[in-house]
Amino acid sequence: MKTAMKALINKDLKAITKNKQLFASIIVVPLIMGVFLPLLFVVIFHFVPDEMGDLQPLLNLLPAKGIKDGQTMVLSLLINYLMPGFFLMIPLMAASVMAASAFVSEKEKSTLETLLLSPLSLREIFTAKVLSAFILSMLVSLATFLLMTLAFETAVYLLMGRLVALHFSWVLILLLVGPAVSLLAITLIVRTSAKSQTAMEAQQRSVFLILPLLLLVIGQLTGVMLLDAWMLLGLGIVLGAIAYVLMWGAVKKITYEKLMGI
């Protein structure tokens, strides 16, 4: 990759850490979804286990291989089946905030024209922008995953004196479904960025991507559909393919005039 593209990615990543408001919005969702929420589940389950009684039909669906007791099974259900839906909102949100900032705020602040006048081609600028949003969202996801695991296992260990195994599906979530969701969010922001005048507006457009994730969570909760590794694999591949196709469609149609809104 050209050093110029690296410089651009660097600049975008640095800019986000310098902007307190944006940085806060990137940090808050992961903390809520990745740390607060699982801790809340564990605490509720520990102190008022009856509240979790509703999960019984779900538990019956679970492949109970190797899991001895009911308590561990519920905890495993929480972390391995319920959390992924919430967790995927993290790459979604981080990627949207970053993409909106990287594309639309350059336009908003009239720095886009200067960037377009550089010797980087439109495609290279586009790629650099997509990559910076993607990199940020992956970093945030991985960091949150580590924090989540640490918080969850510590809480479970302290309260109930055990550890709960994470499923292989987390690998797929981190390395396949999460990245696919990020790419999809970035594509959406990028495709509408020509129409959005402010970064805020662009971010708001991506909010509706949360809906399918909520459906996923509800699906899991009600036991309509329990995602196993194979389904996650399929989901990741399909989402990734959609994102890729939409992204290239956007890249092909992009022109200086369109970017500047003429």
Partner 1 sequence: MHAIITTGLGKTYPGGKEALKDLSLQLDEGEVFGFLGPNGAGKTTAVKLLTGMLNPTAGSALVMGHDPEKDPERVHALCGVVTENARMYDHLSGLENLMFYGALYGQNSFESRERADMLLAGLALHDAKDKKLGAYSTGMRQKLSFARALMHRPRMLFLDEPTSGMDPESGIKVNQMITRLAKEEGVTVFLCTHQLRYAQDICTRFGLISEGAMLMTGTLPELQNAVLPGIRVRIRADKLPAGLPLQEAGNGVFEGSLGEEGEVADLVRKIVLQGGDLYRVEVEKPSLEEIYFALTRNREAAK
Contact with partner 1 (CB under 8 A) among 157, 230, 248, 256? 256
Q: Is 260 in the site for partner 1 (CB under 8 A)?
A: yes
Q: Is 7 in the site for partner 1 (CB under 8 A)?
A: yes
Tell me the window of 14-22, 81-89, 130-138, 200-208 that interacts with partner 1 (CB under 8 A).
14-22
Minimum CB separation from partner 1 for residue 159, in Å?
A: 45
Max distance between CA atoms of the chain, in angstroms, equals 65
Q: Is 11 in the site for partner 1 (CB under 8 A)?
A: yes
Q: Is 121 in the site for partner 1 (CB under 8 A)?
A: yes
Query: In the stretch 78-117, what mask flags binding to partner 1 with x, by CB under 8 A?
Result: -------------------------------xxx-xxxxx
Q: Is 19 in the site for partner 1 (CB under 8 A)?
A: yes
Minimum CB separation from partner 1 for residue 93, in Å?
A: 22
Q: Is 190 in the site for partner 1 (CB under 8 A)?
A: no
Contact with partner 1 (CB under 8 A) among 15, 160, 175, 246? 15
Q: Is 211 in the site for partner 1 (CB under 8 A)?
A: no
Minimum CB separation from partner 1 for residue 118, in Å?
A: 4
Phi, psi of 226 (to 5 degrees): -100, 125
Q: Is 54 in the site for partner 1 (CB under 8 A)?
A: no
Judge whether 186 and 133 are in contact, CB under 8 Å.
Answer: yes
Q: Residue 7 or residue 43: which is nearer to partner 1 going by CB?
A: 7
Give the chain as a DSSP string.
Answer: --HHHHHHHHHHHHHHHH-HHHHHHHHHHHIIIIIIHHHHHHHHHHH-GGGGGGGHHHHHHS--TT--SHHHHHHHHIIIIIHHHHHTHHHHHHHHHHHIIIIIHHHHTT-HHHHHTSSS-HHHHHHHHHHHHHHHHHHHHHHHHHHHHHHHHHHHHHHHS---PPPTHHHHIIIIIHHHHHHHHHHHHHHHHTT-SSHHHHHHHHGGGHHHHHHHHHHHHHTS----HHHHHHHHHHHHHHHHHHHHHHHHH--HHHHTT-
Minimum CB separation from partner 1 for residue 99, in Å?
A: 18
The residues of the shown chain that bind partner 1, judged by CB under 8 A, are 2-4, 7-8, 11, 15, 18-19, 109-111, 113-122, 255-257, 260, 262
